[in-house]
Structure 1
């Protein structure tokens, strides 16, 4: 009898909670109706969201170079310290639509290189590249990075990432109340069934996790498209580097030496490096920012073989 009374009491608590949740929901709807009396135009709403995402993405792109250089502890390389490097850089610039980028050196987690900025941007080289690469190989790496500056790849990637992040935030804000409502119904059902529910903070953590997962699934297509673009731009930068240097094997050797020197780490700068993370299974390879290094080297070797085959034999 006592057990029946406890279960009845728990069921009453569940019903009361349901009423409370409904009352809070109605109050929030009424509040939104007061704050936003007119129905917003969908075109204006979407345009504003996209415009703000692009604006803040561009702002981050413009101010991010100095923060990146500082964060990596990079030091500018004076022209008088490496005149041979600047001679090769000047020769590449004469063939490409770039300004006069500043060259920095830094101690990166592994031998690598990256370029940020448009036109007159910044090229950052790991110190170990001067040890493991010869002059022609380093010139190939420089040409690859200048190709990224020439096509403003970092800007496109930043704007794309900003759009995806903004859309993720908007979707999360829209779906989180739905998740809370469903979690509340589940909590009410637990009380009515006579079972002791979990603490409310655990419900919040679970709702946050599930909603985040749902948003990731919804935006998977956009994320895959952005990562596919990132991989294509690496191939394009390789091709452009070969076009201006005329030596695909030098770039292939450079990539091979960088690959053998160390494995890259994942992180927020992975998409900017010449060598990014590489994954084995199909899904993670689709989400990778870089194509497999072996594929890039193989393309360069095949390009050399095709060029050699076109040379007439006398």
Structure 2
């Protein structure tokens, strides 16, 4: 155990020394700031695109859905064609899968979009409600929301990685001392209790808090895009109540059961500040309330129409 502890200590010290020398080298011979920025930006962009493309394919393959053709659902594709003429988006592919709850989501962009529907959703929605949901999902394609989200998380990972780079020598050193001494003392399982690990915990906590803060910003942008897609759908269809009714049906079905979409989307309906901050979607009640207010404002009668 003494030999293992000594070996661990030496390996971690060498890793700390190498990373330190690398960091000093970069400080003494810094690359051109513009070149470095462009290189990092290009790498992030390429990585985001590859993650976006392969991630989309992997998700579709995992769903086990079936692509439907216009001859199989002529009414749906007629609605898509009408919406396509009023929006800057080409007709997307339509895939039907068992998602566990009646819902839909969009993948891709203006020219390579895919709309994924749960099988039951097309049965529970009326024609005008279905058109409202189609317009909402096409609005996501129109704004490249899926790619923007992927790019945002790639930027987040890059920032965290750049912040960890100068901390690596310290982290290797502290971890090596803690693990090496624990083995030398004959208690390898207690290396996390070494007092020097306080430095490790503080360093990683600082980076973690920054990552959480950036994640909150990304999730806030995601929630704003949901509101924007609702507004765009209403602008195109002119029927805010149809979208409100569709969202209410989806919300009620989601309350009864949880399916695959619960891992894709995080709703902010639960109580708690942290839950709402980390939600990808705003509370369904808030979205419906906005649509009702929009309908009331557009109504000549000046009264709210119930969606029950």
TM-score in terms of structure 1 length: 0.78
Is 1:82 matched with 2:73? yes
* Contact 1:270 1:276 (C-alpha < 8 Å) held by counterparts: no
CA spacing shift, 1:109–1:170, aligned 2, 3 Å: farther
Check whether the contact 2:132–2:234 (CA below 8 A) recurs between aligned residues. Answer: yes
301-310 vs 238-247, greater mean Cα deviation: 301-310
CA shift, 1:296, in A, is 0.2
For 2:103, the equivalent position in structure 1 comes to: 112
C-alpha displacement of 1:196:
6.5
How far is 1:154 from its partner?
1.0
Any idea what the Cα deviations from partners look like across 1:87-117, whole Å, max 9, x if unmatched? 1111111110101111111111322111111
Give distance in 2, aligned partners of 1:30 and 1:63: 36
Q: Secondary structure of the residue that 2:95 maps to in structure 1?
A: strand
29-38 vs 107-116, which moves further:
29-38
> What does residue 207 of structure 2 align with?
215
Counterpart of 2:133 (choices 137, 141, 150) is 141
2:264 alignment counterpart? 270
Equivalent in the alignment of 1:4 = none
Conserved? CA contact 1:224–1:287, under 8 Å: yes
Task: Report what 2:83 is aligned to.
Answer: 92
TM-score, normalising length: structure 2: 0.80
Tell me if the contact between 2:182 and 2:188 (Cα under 8 Å) persists in the aligned partners. no
Q: How far does the alpha carbon of each residue in 1:114-135 deviate from its partner, in whole angstroms, 9 at most, with x for none?
A: 1111113111111010222111
Deviation of residue 167 (structure 1)?
2.4
Q: How does 1:1-314 map to 2 (within 5 A)?
A: 25-26=16-17, 29-30=20-21, 38-120=29-111, 121-184=113-176, 198-199=188-189, 213-263=205-255, 270-271=264-265, 276=267, 278-309=269-300
* C-alpha RMSD of the superposition: 3.8
Would the aligned equivalents of 2:216 and 2:278 in 1 still touch at CA under 8 Å?
Answer: yes
* Contact kept? 1:266, 1:276, Cα under 8 Å: no
Q: Summarize deviations over 1:181-212 as a string: whole Å, max 9, x none.
A: 23455678989xx98654477579x8988765
Q: Which runs of 5+ in 2 are unaligned?
A: 303-308
Q: Distance in 2 between matches of 1:20 and 1:62?
A: 39
Q: Is the 8 A contact 2:241 2:291 kept in 1?
A: yes
Instruction: Check 1:80–1:203 CA distance in 2 against 1; reply closer, same or farther (3 A cut).
Output: farther
Kindly provide the CA deviation profile for residues 9-30 of structure 1, in whole angstroms up to 9, marking residues without a partner as x. x9xxx99x99997677556645
Gaps in structure 1 of 5+ consecutive residues: 1-9
Deviates more, 1:59-68 or 1:97-106: 59-68
More moved, 34-43 vs 240-249:
34-43
Aligned position for 2:306: none
Q: Which has the larger displacement, 61-70 or 168-177?
A: 168-177
How many residues end up aligned between the 2 structures? 294
Q: Which has the larger radius of gyration?
A: 1
Q: Structure 1, residues 39-60: CA drift from partner, whole Å, max 9, x if none? A: 3345433432232111110122
Check whether the contact 2:268–2:275 (CA below 8 A) recurs between aligned residues.
Answer: no
**1:278–1:290: 8 Å Cα contact kept in structure 2?**
no
